[in-house]
Chains A and B, each alone.
Chain A
Amino acid sequence: MTEVRPFTKSANTTMGMMFLVLLALLPPAGAGIFHYGARAALIMGISTLTAVLCELLWELLLRRPVTVNDYSAAVSGLILGMILPPSVPLYFPVLGSAAGMLLAKLPFGGIGRNLLNPAMTGKLLLLLLFRDAMNDFSVSGEEALTPLRQLAGGDAVSLSDMLTGNTAACIGTGSTAAVLVTAAFLLLTGITDLMIPMGSFMSFTLLMILFGNNGWNPVFLAVQYMGGAFLFTVFVMAQDYSTRPLTRKGRFLYGCGLGAGIAVLRLFGYAEQAAVSALAVMNLTVPFLDAHTMPRPFGIRQSPMETRRIRRRDRRALLRKRRVRAELPEDDFDSDILESDIGVSFEDAEEVRMKAEESVRDGAEQAAWQEKHE
């Protein structure tokens, strides 16, 4: 029996939202299987299964309420599978998925409490452990370069191949078209919003134009957008509820930082897998962003302009107050402000106040106001 208002609640549940995310992830996963074969399906399957089992075992062993039915573990597992190259050994997804869940998510208290994105943590760990294998995008023995490598090497890059996914990439991030379908689905169902992508696109584009040595070249920009995991990170991974800021402003800034991070890592840094590293850094800023982007409540004016104006007014009042004091005889002045402290008679204080009012009426009023508001 519920005794508390409201007596009606939205049909929305965490489980429902996560199930929609799983559905949304199907097109890029399907594209991955189509291009890289059954092995891709196996990797994603193992990864998903490991994540779910880890959460289940953890919760059973520690006698916590079992939460695997909210699908969040499955989503993390599937995403990790999707950001692995198609030719990794089959113990990679097991290791990555388990590390993601057991290091990043579960010890912090499960869904909503983790600082780092579990899929990202898993991938980062695999990258650090197995750098070569994680950057080997060959499929069935054929050597293949990622579009970004091709671009850096001065080779021609086929944009249409990048769109369909017929290219060397991670399983789920190869087909730009499929990733955009996912993004559109998530946006239309209201699961994500455009704040993070907006910020990312702005900063990423700006840095790419300024420092990419290709100016406005649309092909260069398109390859940068479509290559690597930029779109997948911005539209899917960065939108992980647990590890994104709560407020719109915070999300926008988070997006700006993410886009800038990816651009900087691609242009000046260790180029492979820039997106995941940038995301890791941005994850760490979320508590800071949350604390400093609290929205201004309805009806409370606190814009920086307003704050400055109030400060200026207060400062002027303070100056006037000092001027009033300077014009008064020393002892009388004391009795005025310390009336209550040292018990000077009311009449004395009154006389001083009258004097002050006569000389600089406005100033005295301001001073009184100031005193009251301190």
Chain B
Amino acid sequence: MAIGTFRGGIHPYDGKELSRHTRIRTVVPHSDIVVFPLKQHMGRPAVPVVAPGDPVLTGQRIAKADGEFSADLHASVSGVVTAIRDFHVAGGGTERSIIIRNDGRFSEIPYPEPRRFEELTDAVIIRAVKQAGIVGMGGAGLPSHIKLSPEHPEQIDYVIANCVECEPYMTSDYRRMVENPGKLINGLRIVLKVFPRARGILAIDEQLRDVIRELRSITRDDPRIYVKRVQTKYPQGSERQLIYAVTGRTLNGKMLPSDIGCIVHNVDTLVAVNQAVMLYEPLLTRLITVSGDCVAKPGNFRVRIGMSYDELIERAGGFVREPALILDGGTMTGRRIRDLHVPVTKMSSQIVALSRDRAEVMRETACSRCARCVEACPNHLVPIQLLRDAERQNEDAFITHNGLECCQCQSCSYICPSKLPLSLRITEMRESIVSRPEKAGDYSRRLFG
């Protein structure tokens, strides 16, 4: 079978060797204060349903969704709500957050007896996912029940489990597939139950041969689930590139995957779906890779949402040397963070601490028109042309040159020999246009209100 891929893309240093061999460690917050920002998803911030002074149990809902693209929020520790106030978050700035004093007992709300998903109706499954507050763990934070309820569920042909971690340093999905493949497969089966005509596809990086073998043997008897290999390349895990590699269908920036009969879910999301539907468990933990050459014991951690980053790094053995660069996310799409006293949210994915800031020493020079960016762009754009349009603030030219198709994968900035801020300028320009639906038309569809 041919290995699926797309044209373009890059091969950055992936650093996965640092963390891929250690088992997932479960850590619980020891500190008194656990922080739950109300906005851990795409839409509007959730509305608190607890007040300062209320006692809460692990798994209890503390905030309810406000609007369609918002999600419920649950306490991951037991204790007492002390305040609802602004708190620093990893994305920079502050968010209104519920602050809970952790009593250290982690007493849980009583869960009903586990159930079998085969007997459930679609509506029950979707409601269970919604009530568990599950959001897409790929980074955008779209509540998962929205993906499960497209306009025409019978028109969905493929449910793709995105097992491709193309982001450098990240290995949490790999560890998840090694350690609990059953939960992943079961999560996929639950989602397939909602889409009667769909086939389930596990799209896995060709290099992860052990996982491919294991998952193939598990799914051998399931006529609806297939394992497909995709090439090791960045950004192979990007939704559009993955759908193309696996199904041959193409998707442009105006469309949603459901328009072409595909649904893409992240590994961690499917596992959470499994827990929510079978065991009534809300989303309380998330897998986070802590890696980089400054971390004493790099690895993957099952972390309770609300635990602070510095406590997590402490559990990973702390820093062995002074980091020059700490990232929330990977080296391609991550964000630099300075203040480590921020909580883990549903959208956190990894922390990378590096002793050397490689990009810092690189000086910008004049463009030589080498066209490396054109070759690398996975969306087949001409980034250098878009940079010129953006520099001249020429919105019409930017739109004509399909600048709105950019998916912000950063490949152009990575590959540029002149170290031009291609992706930065293009993203700025694109965002300023997309925020005005009258100019951007269907491209604003992905903004969700």
Contact = CB atoms under 8 A, between A and B. Distances in A.
A1 B360 CA distance: 6
Nearest to A242: B369
A321 to B, nearest CB: 24
A212 B121 CA distance: 77
Interface in A91-117: 109-113
Interface string A285-303: 0000010001111111100
Interface in B32-62: none
Given A298-B252, A298-B380, A247 B417 contact: no
Contact of A9 (B168, B251, B327, B419): B419
Residue picked from B252, B325, B365, B413, most chain A C-beta under 10 Å: B365
Interface residues of A, number: 39
Nearest to A72: B368
Contact of B418 (A14, A290, A295, A301): A14
A294 B382 CA distance: 7
A241 B371 CA distance: 8
A2 B327 CA distance: 12
B370 interface: yes
B417 A13 contact: yes
Contacts of A298: 6, 240-241, 244, 250, 252, 378-380, 405
B366 A4 contact: no
B414 A9 contact: yes
A308 to B, nearest CB: 20
Given A7-B327, A298-B380, A14 B368 contact: yes
Contact of A7 (B252, B331, B365, B415): B331
B124 interface: no
Nearest to A291: B385
B392 to A, nearest CB: 15
A115 to B, nearest CB: 11
Q: Say which size band chain B's interface belongs to.
A: 35 or more
B421 interface: yes
A6 B359 contact: yes
B152 interface: no
B219 interface: no
A272 interface: no
Contact of A13 (B12, B252, B365, B401): B365
Contacts of A244: 369
Given A3-B336, A6-B423, A111 B325 contact: no
Contact of B12 (A8, A67, A113, A247): A8
Interface string A259-300: 000000000000000000000000000000010001111111
A260 to B, nearest CB: 23
Contacts of B12: 6, 8, 10
Q: At the interface, is chain A mostly helix, strand, loop or mixed?
A: loop
Contact of A10 (B244, B357, B417, B423): B417
Nearest to B409: A6
A244 B369 CA distance: 8
Nearest to B412: A6
Contacts of A242: 368-369
B284 interface: no
Contacts of A290: 385
B290 interface: no
Contacts of B241: 298
Contacts of A159: none
Interface string B373-390: 010001111101100000
Interface of B: 6, 10, 12-13, 168, 240-241, 244, 250-253, 255, 325, 327, 331-336, 354, 357-360, 362, 365-372, 374, 378-382, 384-385, 401-402, 405, 410, 413-419, 421, 423-424
Given A109-B366, A112-B367, 17 more contacts: A2-B360, A4-B421, A7-B334, A8-B168, A8-B414, A9-B362, A14-B368, A14-B370, A67-B366, A72-B368, A110-B366, A111-B368, A112-B368, A112-B369, A247-B382, A300-B402, A301-B250
Interface of A: 1-10, 12-17, 67, 70, 72, 109-113, 241-242, 244, 246-248, 290, 294-301
8 contacts: A2-B359, A4-B424, A8-B12, A17-B370, A111-B368, A242-B368, A246-B384, A297-B381
Q: Which 5 A-B pairs have the closest CB atoms?
A: A299-B252, A299-B250, A8-B331, A6-B410, A297-B405
